C-alpha cells in the first residue's frame, strides 16, 4: 500500500507540474475557455472479485464534481454507491468518496481519451448471521475511458475503473475477504 501511495503522489506532482506549465504557455482565449467547473453522473456495472465465494455483480451509481484547469488536466471528486454484495452467510454494503486527478488527450473536436488516478475512502457495512460491523478503508484506484463532446457544455463518456480495495471481514470461520472492484460505466458531464 505504501508503494502505491508513493506512485500516486508522484503522478499527482507530475500532473500538477504539467498543468501549470500548460496553463502558463496558453495564450489563446480558446484554451482559457476550457477551464471551469463541471458536474456529472455515471451508471454502470460493478464486478466484485474477492476470495472464496464473495464475488458478485451489481449496478453502481456515481455522482461527480470537478474542476478543469485546461483541456488536459482536471481535479475530480465523486460519491459512489457500490451497492451490496456477498453470500447468504455474509453480506456487505459499500459506498465511498473519491478524489482524483484526470488527464485528457483530445483526439479531435468531438472525441477525447482520458485517464484518472486517485484515492477512494469507503465505508462498508458487514453483516454475517447475527453479527454486523462497519469498516472504513482507504485505497487507490485508476481508470480510463473515452469522452464524446455533444456540445461545448455537454459530454458523454464511457469509463472503466479498478479500485484496489483491501476490504476484509472476519466471519465465524475467521476467513478474510480481500476484494477488488472493477467498474464499467457510462455517463455524462455538464461543463459550466
63 Cβ contact partners less than 8 Å away, ≥ 6 residues apart: 39, 40, 41, 78, 79
More confident residue, 53 or 109: 109
pLDDT band per the 50, 70, 90 thresholds, residue 6: low
Tell me how far apart the alpha carbons of residues 93 and 179 are, in angstroms, rounded to a whole number: 13
Q: Are 35 and 70 in contact (CB under 8 A)?
A: yes
Q: Residues of the chain with pLDDT > 90: what percent?
A: 45
pLDDT of residue 167: 55
Q: Domain segments of the chain: what residues?
A: 2-191
Domain 2-191: top CATH class: mainly beta
pLDDT of residue 93: 82
pLDDT of residue 172: 43
Dihedral of CA 95/98/103/106: which sign? Answer: positive
Tell me how far apart the alpha carbons of residues 120 and 69 are, in angstroms, rounded to a whole number: 22
Query: Is the whole-model pTM more than 0.85?
Result: no
Tell me how far apart the alpha carbons of residues 184 and 159 are, in angstroms, rounded to a whole number: 6
Tell me how far apart the alpha carbons of residues 75 and 67 are, in angstroms, rounded to a whole number: 5
The per-residue pLDDT for range 62-108, each reduced to its tens digit, is 999 999 999 999 999 999 998 877 777 777 788 899 999 999 999 99
Tell me how far apart the alpha carbons of residues 81 and 62 are, in angstroms, rounded to a whole number: 6
Tell me how far apart the alpha carbons of residues 6 and 178 are, in angstroms, rounded to a whole number: 22
Cell triple for 129: 448471521
Highest-scoring range by mean pLDDT, 1-15, 34-48, 84-98, 174-188: 34-48
Cell triple for 82: 457500490
Q: Is 17 left (phi over 0), alpha (psi -120 to 50) or beta?
A: alpha
The per-residue pLDDT for range 23-50, each reduced to its tens digit, is 444 444 444 457 899 999 999 988 876 6
pLDDT of residue 50: 60
Whether 155 shows a pLDDT value over 50: the answer reads yes
The per-residue pLDDT for range 103-119, each reduced to its tens digit, is 999 999 999 999 999 99
Tell me how far apart the alpha carbons of residues 53 and 177 are, in angstroms, rounded to a whole number: 9
Dihedral of CA 75/146/161/156: which sign? Answer: positive
Whether 185 shows a pLDDT value over 60: the answer reads yes
Q: 160 vs 59, 99, 163, 177, 183, CA distance in Å? A: 14, 16, 10, 23, 6
Amino acid at each position: 500500500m505504501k508503494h502505491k501511495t508513493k506512485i500516486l503522489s508522484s503522478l499527482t506532482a507530475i500532473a500538477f507540474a504539467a498543468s501549470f506549465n500548460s496553463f502558463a504557455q496558453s495564450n489563446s482565449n480558446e484554451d482559457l475557455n476550457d477551464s471551469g467547473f463541471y458536474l456529472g453522473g455515471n451508471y454502470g456495472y460493478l464486478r466484485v472479485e474477492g476470495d472464496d465465494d464473495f464475488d458478485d455483480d451489481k449496478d453502481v451509481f456515481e455522482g461527480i464534481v470537478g474542476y478543469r484547469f485546461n483541456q488536459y488536466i482536471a481535479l475530480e471528486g465523486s460519491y459512489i454507491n457500490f451497492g451490496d454484495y456477498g453470500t447468504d452467510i455474509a453480506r456487505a454494503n459499500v459506498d465511498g468518496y473519491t478524489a482524483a486527478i484526470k488527464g485528457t488527450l483530445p483526439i479531435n473536436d468531438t472525441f477525447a481519451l482520458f485517464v484518472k488516478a486517485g484515492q477512494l475512502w469507503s465505508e462498508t457495512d458487514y453483516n454475517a448471521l447475527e453479527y454486523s460491523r462497519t469498516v472504513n478503508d482507504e485505497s487507490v484506484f485508476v481508470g480510463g475511458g473515452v469522452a464524446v463532446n455533444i456540445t461545448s457544455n455537454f459530454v458523454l463518456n464511457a469509463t472503466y475503473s479498478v479500485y484496489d480495495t483491501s476490504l476484509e471481514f472476519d466471519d465465524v470461520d475467521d476467513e478474510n475477504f480481500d476484494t477488488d472492484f472493477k467498474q464499467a460505466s457510462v455517463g455524462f458531464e455538464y461543463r459550466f
